[in-house]
Amino acid sequence: MEDNSGLSSRGLFLMIETLFTQALGLVAPWQVAEVIFKPESGRIDFQVRFGAANHACPALR
């Protein structure tokens, strides 16, 4: 599916993920994985993903 901007649905979704990732100040390996707008309740729900396979506990540094 494309709108008149020429973006596919996937391209638009990636742009929205990027927008929320940056707006929330997340940096790699953190990123917004899913955004769901619920107009009936006026909500925007999103999931955040930690993309690293391994990570150290910041409390143990």
Query: Does residue 60 surpass a pLDDT of 80?
Result: no
Residues near 48 by beta carbon (within 8 Å), at least 6 away in sequence: 24, 26, 30, 31, 32, 33
Query: pTM value?
Result: 0.62
Categorize the per-residue pLDDT at 1 as very low, low, confident or very high, splitting at 50, 70 and 90: very low
**61/46 Cα distance (integer angstroms):** 30
Report pLDDT digits (tens) over 2-47: 455 677 888 887 888 889 899 999 998 888 988 899 999 999 998 9
Amino acid 4: pLDDT: 59
